[in-house]
Structure 1
Amino acid sequence: MSGKKTIDWYFDFISPFSYLQAELLHTLPADTELRYRPVLLAGLLDHWDNKGPAEIAPKRTWTFEHCAWLAHRQGIPITMPGHHPFNPLPLLRLFIAAGGSAQAMRRIFHFVWREGRLPTDEAPFRALLQELRVTPEMLGSDEVKQALRRNGEAAIAAGVFGVPTAVVDNRCFWGLDATDMLQAWLRGDPFFQSSAFLGAQTLPPGIQRKK
């Protein structure tokens, strides 16, 4: 498992956990190649018949409390936007239209999770477009829409069910709290060949909850 690795990093700007992990991507090995894959979280949730944490009232409160704590612990600035959830499509399309660079990704995350802005904040969002040299017409182009759609299809094909998720060696590492697990995998940690880990992959399902 050692050597240079290529990671498809799936994220949505709606996700504070994606923001926090984006701030930690620099801790991955220097020779790691990152391919940034914006994806609509709502599409993943619909496909896997799941709910987002903000859709469950007590979990919603805990999620934002936990994110505030995690940001504090990591020394990462965070400012909550005016409301959540919100429609992230303009931001996802903006990232693609801006060229999909690491700089554009971080700038858009900072717009939401450091400045507390939303794409419905017309003047700030218009200024963000100008900063990234993107026109409103570019956001609605078929090319941008199709690129985002392809990302969603690729994510589902890879087994991605939430964000952030790093896909490397046909394996998904989901969530901010899997960052250290991802780092260990990239280092070639022998634990991943252990009976404990391999046995966890084959645990059979038991009784099923009635719907």
Structure 2
Amino acid sequence: MTDGIDARQPLWFYDFVSPFSYLLLEQHDKWPELPFTLTPVRLNDLYRHWGQRVAYDVPAKRIFTYRYALFRAEQLGIPFRMPPAHPFDSSKAILLAVALGSELTTVREIFRFIWRDGRDPSSADGFADLCERLKVPDGLELIERESTLAQLSRNCADAIALGVFGVPTFWLNNQLFWGEDALPMVLYCARTPNWLDSKEVKRITSLPSGLANA
């Protein structure tokens, strides 16, 4: 049996393949003082559902993304080291987080293993080292359990139902806030939720498309 996402609660969606998810979690002390539930999803599942092209398929965008992630890390004073190859298969790391309850300390340690130490969690040796760091000797068994696989699938389905299209994404007051650079907006809307009900926000939210095929 899987647990559905409780959309009445503040949520934070992430995938370990995302450097910006790492950078945002490293700023956890700046988040609104609310009990965000850390919710792992597969970014590729979101892309597939919404028909989005994977950013890393566009060579110039891929280069810019890596440079911008490094720039943001240096700007924020966050240790940052790219893993040996990217994108990588984050499935093992995500499933491990699911199996371990996606607790903050666990999720942060997995992110740091990948993005601070520059390790690959998808390789056999890398995953074994990650499990050793987390003191989880039965990691391979945990990620192969049907309940773990089913929970991750449920997370992805529920996230899509909420409209989640990328990571990192906050869900707060029934609204989505996407991207590491959306943190100031999250903080503002946590303090001033009625801003989203303002006349201009409502106007641009309901703008029609100017393209016939959109």
TM-score (normalised: structure 2): 0.90
Deviation at 1:52, TM superposition (A): 2.4
What are the equivalent positions in structure 2 for 1:193-208 lying under 5 Å apart? 193-208=197-212
Q: 1:14 is aligned with what amino acid?
A: V
Amino acid at match of 2:68: H
Q: CA deviation at 1:209?
A: 5.8
2:79 counterpart of 1:81:
no
SS for the counterpart of 1:179 is helix
Q: Could you tell me how far 1:179 is from its partner in structure 2?
A: 0.8
- Tell me the secondary structure at the aligned position of residue 38 of structure 2: strand
RMSD of aligned residue pairs (Cα, Å) = 1.7
* Cα contact 2:92–2:122 (8 A) shared by 1: no
Q: Which runs of 5+ in 2 are unaligned?
A: 1-7
- Alpha-carbon distance in structure 1 between the residues aligned to 2:133 and 2:81: 21
- How far the C-alpha of 1:121 sits from its partner, in A, is 3.9
C-alpha contact 1:185 1:192 (8 A) present in aligned 2 = yes
Amino acid at match of 2:148: V
Q: Is the 8 A contact 1:94 1:134 kept in 2?
A: no
Deviation, structure 1 residue 189 = 5.3
Counterpart position of 1:25: 28
Cα distance in 2 for partners of 1:104, 1:191 equals 35
Structure 2 Cα separation of the partners of residues 62 and 47 of structure 1: 25
CA displacement, residues 93-128 of structure 1 (integer Å, 9 cap, x when unaligned) = 111122210000000000110111112443342122
Task: Quote the residue 2:117 is aligned against.
Answer: 115
DSSP-derived class of the 2:10 partner:
strand
| Letter paired with 1:9 | W
Comparing 143-152 with 181-190, which one deviates more in the overlay? 181-190
Deviations 1:12-58 (A, max 9, x none): 0000111111112221232x011011000000000000022212111
For residue 143 of structure 2, what is the aligned residue in structure 1?
139
Give me the identity figure in percent: 34
For 1:63, the equivalent position in structure 2 comes to 65
Q: Output the CA distance in 2 between the equivalents of 1:139 and 1:190.
A: 42
Shifted more, 17-26 versus 88-97: the winner is: 17-26
Q: Give the secondary structure class of the aligned counterpart of 1:172.
A: strand
User: Aligned residues, how many?
Assistant: 205
Q: What one-letter code is carried by the residue in structure 1 that aligns with 2:158?
A: A
Moved over 6 A (4+): none
**Aligned partner of 2:26: which letter?**
E
Q: Secondary structure at the match of 2:184?
A: helix
State the secondary structure of the residue aligned to 1:10.
Answer: strand
For residues 173 and 122 of structure 2, the distance between their equivalents in structure 1, rounded to whole angstroms, comes to 38
Query: Which of 51, 66, 87 in structure 2 is aligned with 1:49?
Result: 51
Deviation at 1:134, TM superposition (A): 4.8
1:118-177: CA deviation from partner (whole Å, max 9, x where unpaired): 124433421221332251111100011011001000110000000011111211101111
User: Does structure 2 conserve the Cα–Cα contact (< 8 Å) formed by 1:11 and 1:38?
Assistant: yes
1 CA distance for matches of 2:48 and 2:137?
Answer: 30
Mapped partners of 1:40, 1:27: distance in 2: 25
